[in-house]
Amino acid sequence: MKTIILRKGKEESLGRFHPWIFSGAIHHTEGDAALEEGDIVEVLASDGRFLALGHWQIGSIAVRVLTFKRQKIDVAFWQKRLAVALDVRRAIGVAGREDNDIYRLVHGEGDNLPGLVIDIYGTTAVMQAHSVGMHVCRQQIAEALRKTMGESLHAIYYKSETTLPFKAQLGQENGFIWGESSDDVARENGLAFHIDWLKGQKTGFFVDQRDNRSLVEHYSKGRKVLNMFCYTGGFSVYAMRGGAELVHSVDSSAKAVELVDANIELNFPGDNRHEAFAEDAFKFMDEMQTQYDLIILDPPAFAKHKDALKNALRGYTKLNARAFEKIQPGGILFTFSCSQAVNKDQFRTAVFTAAAIARRKVRILHQLHQPADHPINIYHPEGEYLKGLVLYVE
């Protein structure tokens, strides 16, 4: 076994079950062969005490911890972790349902599987590695996944082309690693969606907005809805079911506009309350009229890293100010940030500034976050990323 020995005092965070070891904490490595990216390593304290087993990788996060016990990492290990993950999804009430077969089965550190994401879309699982270690273990994990899911699973699509470090030169390709899917339609709360795991963003769908989409449905009756940054149009489809008078969906990508149109047609064929526009959000909001009384702002992560924070906050303020300026009196604004680098308070301050710029009276009705199938490991607060506010604009 290859071994990593930590500098004195650097074992402290592992004592608090934090699942990452930064490269600066490492004193030296031991073993017969040189370390290779993706290797499973044993981590010892400076006094030789066993601390953890994890995946080693070049970069600032050097080890992602798999377990704090000495144990074998094999199919049985993965199967046990996946079984707990599935049990959690049953407890939440998103798995094992006729009308809902879209959910996140594995959310990385949140499910004690750092570097791994698995989303379920009907009979297809989309598996994504964010670490070289999970990439190396993909066949074992796929086998464990098949055993865990049984007959409900027909195919596993592996989608890690853009999520693995480019420099590792793993030659990773996207593709089915088991079975094949005959159907790209899956259901969320009784609504049907085409899922494009081949070319779509993330694993093909933004599973993390499920609960917030339901809340949009609740507020939509009789309203004129604007869904900015619509992507596959999840919010739009829920707004339609909620009884919106009209729904306009906007995304700068023409492909996204095709997807939203297809999803509306799938659920509400021939319904002309909906229209989609391929346009830049800022341009659209500058030019739009003031007819909307429910606006959803769900932009891409403005800050991917901490150094981009200031610009990101300015971006959120500018975007929200436009919405406050144009929304009808008595309107409802759903506004989100999925940037992990922006915390709840910073986001709220950005929105507060926007409200003040537009000089509107604004009440906070709901404070939103990621859903239960995107759990946060209590020892890994970095896992919190999605935040949102629902506001009543007088």
Whole-number minimum distance, CB 111 to ligand SAH, in Å?
22
In a 10 Å sphere around its CB, with 0-12 CB exposed, 13-18 middle and 19+ buried, how is residue 277 labelled?
middle
One-letter identity of residue 273? R
Q: Does 12 bind ligand SAH (CB under 6 A)?
A: no
Determine the angle formed by the axes of helices 210-219 and 234-241, rounding to 10 degrees. 40
Instruction: Based on DSSP, count helices (H) and strands (E) in the chain, helices before strands.
Output: 10, 20
Instruction: Determine if residue 209 is left, alpha or beta; phi over 0 gives left, psi from -120 to 50 gives alpha, anything else beta.
Output: alpha
Residues 31, 96, 222, 300: which binds ligand SAH (CB under 6 A)? Answer: 300
Whole-number minimum distance, CB 253 to ligand SAH, in Å?
4
Q: Between residues 234 and 383, which has the closer beta carbon with respect to ligand SAH?
A: 234
Q: Between residues 59 and 299, which has the closer beta carbon with respect to ligand SAH?
A: 299
User: CA 328, CA 393: separation in Å to the nearest integer?
Assistant: 8
Residues 110, 122, 234, 242: which binds ligand SAH (CB under 6 A)? Answer: 234
Q: Which stretch binds ligand SAH (CB under 6 A): 57-65, 145-153, 182-190, 246-254?
A: 246-254
Q: Does 311 bind ligand SAH (CB under 6 A)?
A: no
Q: Between residues 157 and 206, which has the closer beta carbon with respect to ligand SAH?
A: 206
Whole-number minimum distance, CB 370 to ligand SAH, in Å?
13
Residues with active-site annotation = 338
Residues 35, 170, 177, 281: which binds ligand SAH (CB under 6 A)? Answer: 281
Type and span of the H or E element at 359: none
Instruction: Answer for the pair 249, 292: CB distance below 8 angstroms, yes or no.
Output: no
User: CA 78, CA 76: separation in Å to the nearest integer?
Assistant: 6
Q: Does 209 bind ligand SAH (CB under 6 A)?
A: yes
Q: Does 298 bind ligand SAH (CB under 6 A)?
A: yes
Q: Does 37 bind ligand SAH (CB under 6 A)?
A: no
Q: Does 13 bind ligand SAH (CB under 6 A)?
A: no
Using CB under 6 A as the binding rule, the residues of this chain from 162 to 191 that contact ligand SAH are none
Whole-number minimum distance, CB 214 to ligand SAH, in Å?
12
Q: What are phi and psi of 373, to 5 degrees?
A: -85, 10
Instruction: Answer for the pair 129, 116: CB distance below 8 angstroms, yes or no.
Output: yes
User: CA 49, CA 44: separation in Å to the nearest integer?
Assistant: 5
Whole-number minimum distance, CB 299 to ligand SAH, in Å?
6
Q: Between residues 285 and 355, which has the closer beta carbon with respect to ligand SAH?
A: 285
One-letter identity of residue 236? S
User: CA 223, CA 101: separation in Å to the nearest integer?
Assistant: 29
The site string for ligand SAH over 252-271 (x = CB under 6 A, - otherwise) reads xx--x---------------
Nearest Cα to Cα of residue 206 among 135, 270, 153, 256: 256
Whole-number minimum distance, CB 242 to ligand SAH, in Å?
15
Whole-number minimum distance, CB 3 to ligand SAH, in Å?
42
Q: Does 158 bind ligand SAH (CB under 6 A)?
A: no
Q: What are phi and psi of 16, to 5 degrees?
A: -100, 15
Instruction: Answer for the pair 11, 26: CB distance below 8 angstroms, yes or no.
Output: no
Q: Which stretch binds ligand SAH (CB under 6 A): 130-138, 156-164, 183-191, 224-232?
A: 224-232
Q: Does 35 bind ligand SAH (CB under 6 A)?
A: no
Whole-number minimum distance, CB 262 to ligand SAH, in Å?
14
Q: Does 373 bind ligand SAH (CB under 6 A)?
A: no
171: three-class secondary structure by DSSP: coil
The sign of the CA dihedral 247, 248, 253, 254 is positive
Chain position carrying tokens 């990773």: 172
Q: Between residues 81 and 322, which has the closer beta carbon with respect to ligand SAH?
A: 322
Q: Between residues 160 and 232, which has the closer beta carbon with respect to ligand SAH?
A: 232
Number of residues interacting with ligand SAH: please give it, by CB under 6 A.
17
Question: Which residues contact residue 202 at a Cβ distance below 8 angstroms, ignoring those fewer than 6 apart?
Answer: 128
Residues 231, 292, 302, 334: which binds ligand SAH (CB under 6 A)? Answer: 231
Sheet holding 155-158, edge to edge: 102-107, 116-121, 124-129, 155-158, 175-179
Binding site for ligand SAH (CB under 6 A): 206, 209, 229-232, 234-235, 251-253, 256, 280-281, 298-300
